[in-house]
């Protein structure tokens, strides 16, 4: 019985040692990743000048990089509420547009050349049933937190 107890203690000790070593390795790798992220500066997007409403800027869907640049440009010249509505419309289309279902590259190709207002118009926000009043909150009012 004493030998069985020693064997069991050795197994538990070996298991705990393995867990602690793996835990230490995981902590080290995440620290290295965060150190690299701090060392590399975020890419700076040069925003071209625009006179007028940023929601009227045609968005470039030729590539993901061009899309991000044109969205940054639209954001710079739009009100915060309009831009949030545009982001929500894009997220909605990414999920529910059947021709580009959850593929951002297909979606931006389909939205290439459209303005922010035209993209928002493509979304079929929920409408009230006939004879009923407007809903208290509309999908366009939704604000999705971005991190």
Query: How would you write 10-48 as a 3-class SS string?
Result: HHHHHHHHHHHHHHHHHHHHHHHHHHHHHHCCCCCCCCC
Q: Whole-angstrom Cα distance, residue 139 to residue 72?
A: 23
Residues 73-92 as b or e (16 or more Cβ within 10 Å = b): bbbebbeeebbbbbbbbbeb
- Whole-model pTM: value is 0.57
Q: Whole-angstrom Cα distance, residue 64 to residue 103?
A: 12
Stretch 31-55: mean pLDDT, rounded? Answer: 67
Answer whether 69's CB lies under 8 Å from 59's CB.
no
* Lowest model confidence (mean pLDDT) among 4-8, 106-110, 137-141: 137-141
% of residues, the chain, pLDDT over 90: 41
∠ CA 58-63-143, nearest 5°, is 60
How many helices (H) does the chain have, and how many strands (E)? 5, 0
> How many C-beta atoms surround the C-beta of residue 134 within 10 A?
8
Could you report the per-residue pLDDT of 73-126, keeping only the tens digit for each? 999 999 999 999 999 999 999 998 888 888 999 999 999 999 999 999 998 766
Where in the chain are the domains?
A: 80-124
pLDDT at 31 over 90: no
Provide the pLDDT for residue 75: 93
């Amino acid at each position: 019985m004493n030998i069985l107890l020693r064997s069991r203690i050795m197994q538990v000790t070996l298991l705990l040692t393995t867990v602690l070593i793996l835990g230490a390795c995981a902590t080290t790798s995440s620290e290295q990743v965060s150190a690299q992220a701090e060392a590399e500066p975020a890419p700076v997007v040069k925003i071209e000048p625009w006179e007028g409403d940023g929601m009227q800027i045609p968005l470039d869907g030729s590539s993901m990089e061009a899309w991000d640049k044109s969205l940054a440009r639209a954001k710079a010249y739009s009100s915060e509420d309009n831009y949030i509505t545009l982001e929500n419309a894009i997220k909605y289309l990414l999920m529910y547009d059947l021709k580009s279902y959850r593929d951002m590259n297909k979606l931006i190709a389909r939205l290439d050349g459209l303005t922010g207002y035209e993209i928002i118009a493509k979304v079929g926000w929920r409408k009230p049933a006939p004879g009923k009043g407007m809903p208290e909150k509309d999908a366009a009012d939704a604000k999705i937190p971005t991190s």
